[in-house]
């Protein structure tokens, strides 16, 4: 009899107690297992929430980082923007006077050379109202910086309700093909946040095509190079057609040399 009772309790099967309630022999073990399982589940949920919220925090930090970085103005750009309107107007007049003088030289000589300074370019960009009206939507205050044998084109661009600062660093030179100008793009960035050059290649191509130029793309040491070929009569002064033969970028100035011929 005692052996039978011992077998029943040790087997873990349910029996009725003296009060008629069901008693389970391994209840303590089951409660312990449930507590462990619950603890494990709570731990997993906690880890998931930590990772999820942590991921959101990282995304927000990166978004703030990128937005603030996009608003950073290079010192050279701030300097160019600081030019007064009066000075800009004077430089605009100087640049247009050089173009007129170049026209006089071209009429008399088949070879020509001209030097355009950085202040003259930026003054013309700032003071020429017709040019400002022709800018693409969202683009504002374009300026040029000539330094370290590179040309930096910097401008404001309105995106998602705030003005980012976009900057492209490039080299401009003539190829062996007559009338073809190469633009080697070193980098494009917003503030100090780098951007993929491919994102602007189509826009650059469309812009050049609107001027009647043919555009092909190549590479130099991994840098994209736009090969732009303008129609022969694109650069014309009077009855003379100008062919650009060399473009040199020096400190704060752009030197251009070429030949001219009478249009047939």
3-state secondary structure labels for all residues of the chain:
CHHHHHHHHHCCCCEECCCCCEECCCHHHHHHHHHHHHHHHHHHHHHHHHHHHHHHHHHHHHHHHHHHHHCCCCHHHHHHHCCCHHHHHHHHHHHHHHHHHHHHHHHHCCEEEEEEEHHHHHHHHHHCHHHHHCCCCCEEEEEEEEECCEEEEEEEEEECCEEEEEEEEEEEEECCCCCEEEEEEEEEEECCEEECCHHHHHHHHHHHHHCCCEEEEEEECCEEEEEEECCCCCCEECCEEEEEEEEEEECCEEEEEEEEEECC
The band of 238, judged by pLDDT with boundaries at 50, 70 and 90, is confident
Q: What are the structural domain ranges in the chain?
A: 75-262
User: Average pLDDT in the 213-227 region?
Assistant: 94
For 111-137, the pLDDT digits (tens) are 999 999 999 999 999 999 888 888 878
Output 123 or 29, whichever has higher pLDDT.
Answer: 123
State the pLDDT at residue 1.
38
| pTM greater than 0.85 | no
């Amino acid at each position: 009899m005692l052996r039978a009772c011992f077998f029943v309790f040790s087997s873990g099967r349910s029996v009725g107690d003296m009060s008629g309630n069901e008693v389970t022999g391994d209840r303590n073990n089951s409660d312990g297992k449930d507590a462990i399982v619950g603890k494990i589940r709570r731990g997993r949920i906690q880890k998931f929430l930590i990772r999820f919220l942590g991921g959101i925090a990282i995304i927000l930090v990166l978004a703030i980082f990128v937005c603030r970085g996009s608003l950073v103005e290079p010192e050279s750009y701030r300097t160019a923007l600081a030019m007064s309107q009066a000075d800009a107007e004077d430089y605009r007049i100087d640049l247009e006077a050089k173009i007129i003088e170049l026209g006089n030289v071209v009429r008399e000589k088949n070879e020509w050379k001209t030097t355009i300074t950085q202040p003259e370019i930026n003054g013309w960009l700032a003071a020429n109202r017709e040019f400002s009206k022709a800018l693409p939507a969202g683009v504002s205050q374009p300026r040029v910086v000539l330094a370290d044998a590179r040309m930096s084109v910097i401008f404001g661009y309105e995106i998602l309700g705030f003005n980012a600062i976009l900057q492209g660093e490039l080299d401009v030179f003539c190829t062996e093909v007559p009338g073809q100008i190469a633009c080697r793009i070193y980098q494009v960035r917003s503030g100090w946040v780098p951007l993929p050059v491919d994102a602007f290649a189509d826009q650059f191509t469309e812009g050049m095509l609107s001027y009647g130029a043919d555009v092909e793309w190549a590479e130099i040491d991994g840098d994209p190079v736009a090969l732009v070929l303008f129609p022969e009569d694109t650069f014309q002064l009077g009855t003379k057609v100008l062919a650009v033969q060399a473009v040199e970028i020096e400190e704060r100035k752009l030197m251009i040399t070429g030949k001219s011929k009478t249009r047939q």
